[in-house]
Amino acid sequence: MFDGTQRRIVSLWFPRFASDRALRAHPLEGPFVLTLKQGNANRVHCLNAAAEARGLYRGMAVADARAFCPELSSRPAAPGEDARFLALLRRWATRWCPWVGFEGPDGLVLDITGSAHLFGGETAMVESLCQRLIRSGLTVQAGTGATRGAAWARAHYGEGRPLADLPVAALRLEPDTVTRLQRMGLRLIGQLADSPRAPLVRRFGAGLLLRLDQALGAQPEQISPEAEPPHYGLRMTLPEPIGLEGDVIGITARLLDWLCAKLKDHQSGARVLRLTLRRVDASTQDVELRLARPLRDPARILPLFQRGVAEVDAGFGIDQMRLEAVQVETLPAEQIAHIQTRDRGRLDDLITRLGTRIGLENIQRYLPADSHIPERSFIIAPAAYCEPQGSWVAVRPRPVVLFPPEPLAATGDRPPATFRWRGMALTAGRITGPERIAPEWWLDDPNWHRGLRDYWRVETRQGRRLWMFYTPQNPGWFVQGEFA
């Protein structure tokens, strides 16, 4: 071809990929379909051979399918799961050759140039490949060829036949183009290749001939292998089981050194770490560490493991340890400032340690919010996932403690001179107000169903300084907070 060597491509097609995957997980006998809601109807997404034998086909309404075949069993399709499974298969297929790419949602393409001899030749390799896939419950059709197009055509339309004898649909064309070609009497690839090119281009555009040339090898077509995401997991198997806390920490330290070196290479930091300890009786115990900020400094992470490791029951001993960074975030190199960098790190470590006891999301911080509603004028957010923000502006004095509004027995639109609150008889001494706050009409807040509020600050002669409000639209008095 272009570089003088003969390329060999294998194309794998899984005709019943989705239903095979579903049946692999939970096997069933008899006709089976996966349903997917398309438009407003549930339609058949994928079906097994038994269902096809009953005359069902893809895209038919599930109600029709049930009418044809009353004993039909069905499950909803999960395209996301299918894609994940195909990615796993792609990763598995790299055992045959390093260049493996996706071919649509239900196929793989392997560039086996130069690797077939490792498995006893091309035929033996493809056979073994298919055998393994069939044994794992997948229906597979394989095709080999000198180009990606030829391999695809053989996988879908029959292995072993010359390309010229295959129908034009084997060229990966739009169904519409195929119909139009057939109407012109061009049924086979050979006929298409022999026809004059210029009229074809004028009638069908350049796409048709591009596909033809790609299949015949006159135009190049590359296979893009997917990049492997970096894997942040390490394990160490020990010759003798260990049980002392110090030993476990020591091995964790060694694993952590390697892991952190890898994190540093990828400019990232671990957010969640999991240490899996396998005991000699084959049971495992997990120690999970959720960090208050992404870290890749072994000296700081190691002490944080102390508490989790101390709680582990070693039984008859631990003979394998595995450390994995479950959640990783980017952590670019940072300029170290001369102010307060050390303290910040100490505080984050403390938050992490407290988080292992009460949950990292329960360590919180106040953030300002843009609202006049008192209870929504600030947000409480997990401290590990946000930075402190400035700009706390209270235009008017606000109480230091807020509580759910407590009703007060009073009438009129001015605060009562004497009233009872929480069992105390109080006399108003100084009254400031009113400050009218309107509900946010764009939010439907049940606490504000009484409408407008007129807030008053009432300083009582007994000392307590209360923040109370009157609701003019639906008269009533409530106490909502207390000043310092």
Partner 1 sequence: MPSSSLIAYPLRPGRVHEACGPSAASFALWTAALIGGDVIWVREAWRAEQLNPLGFQGLDPARVILAQTMDQNDTLAVAEEALRDGAVPFVILETTAPIGLTAGRRLQLAAQAGGTTGLCLIPEGMGSNAAETRWHCAPVFDAQDSTRQRWSLIKNKLGTCEAWNVRWNPEAHRVAVVSPVRE
| Interacting residues with partner 1 (CB under 8 A) | 343, 346-347, 349-351, 353-354, 357-358, 362-366, 368, 374, 377-378, 380, 383, 388-390, 392, 394, 397-404, 429-430, 457, 459-465, 481-484
In whole angstroms, the minimum distance from the beta carbon of 125 to partner 1 comes to 59
| Residue carrying structure tokens 């290479």 | 265
Contact 7, 114 (CB under 8 A): no
Select 177 or 460, whichever has its Cβ closest to partner 1.
Answer: 460
Give the pair of three-digit tokens for residue 475. Answer: 């008269």
What minimum distance in Å lies between the beta carbon of 260 and partner 1?
Answer: 22
For residues 69 and 383, which CB has a smaller minimum distance to partner 1 in the complex? Answer: 383
CB 138 within 8 A of CB 17: yes
d(CA 205, CA 173): 12
Minimum gap (Å) between residue 94 Cβ and partner 1? 47
Whichever of 28 and 354 has its CB closer to partner 1, that residue is: 354
Using the minimum distance from each CB to partner 1, give the nearer residue, 178 or 384: 384
Q: What is the DSSP string of 93-161?
A: HTTT-SEEEE-GGGEEEEE-TTTGGGGTSHHHHHHHHHHHHHHTT---EEEEESSHHHHHHHHHH-TTS
Least separation in angstroms between residue 459's CB and partner 1 is 6
The single-letter code of the amino acid at 96 is W
Round to whole Å and give the CA distance between 292 and 102: 38
Helix (H, G, I), strand (E, B) or coil at 53: helix
Task: Name the residue nearer to partner 1 (CB basis): 389 or 418.
Answer: 389
Give the separation between CA 115 and CA 95, rounded to whole angstroms: 10
254/398 with CB nearer partner 1: 398
224/418 with CB nearer partner 1:
418
Residue 42: closest CA among 18, 57, 20, 60: 60
In order, the DSSP letters of 233-286 are EEEEEEEEEE--HHHHHHHHHHHHHHHHHHHHHTTEEEEEEEEEEEETTS-EEE
Q: How far is the CB of 274 from partner 1 (least distance, A)?
A: 22
**What is the closest distance, in whole angstroms, from the C-beta atom of residue 353 to partner 1 in the complex?**
6
Smaller CB distance to partner 1: residue 232 or 421?
421
Alpha-carbon dihedral 408, 413, 414, 420, rounded to 10 degrees: -10
The nearest distance, CB 52 to partner 1, in angstroms, is 56
CB of 302 to partner 1, least distance (A): 16
Report the relative pairing of strands 73-76 and 32-38 from DSSP bridges: parallel
Residues 244-265: b if buried by 16+ CB within 10 A, e if exposed: eeeebbebbeebbeebbebbee
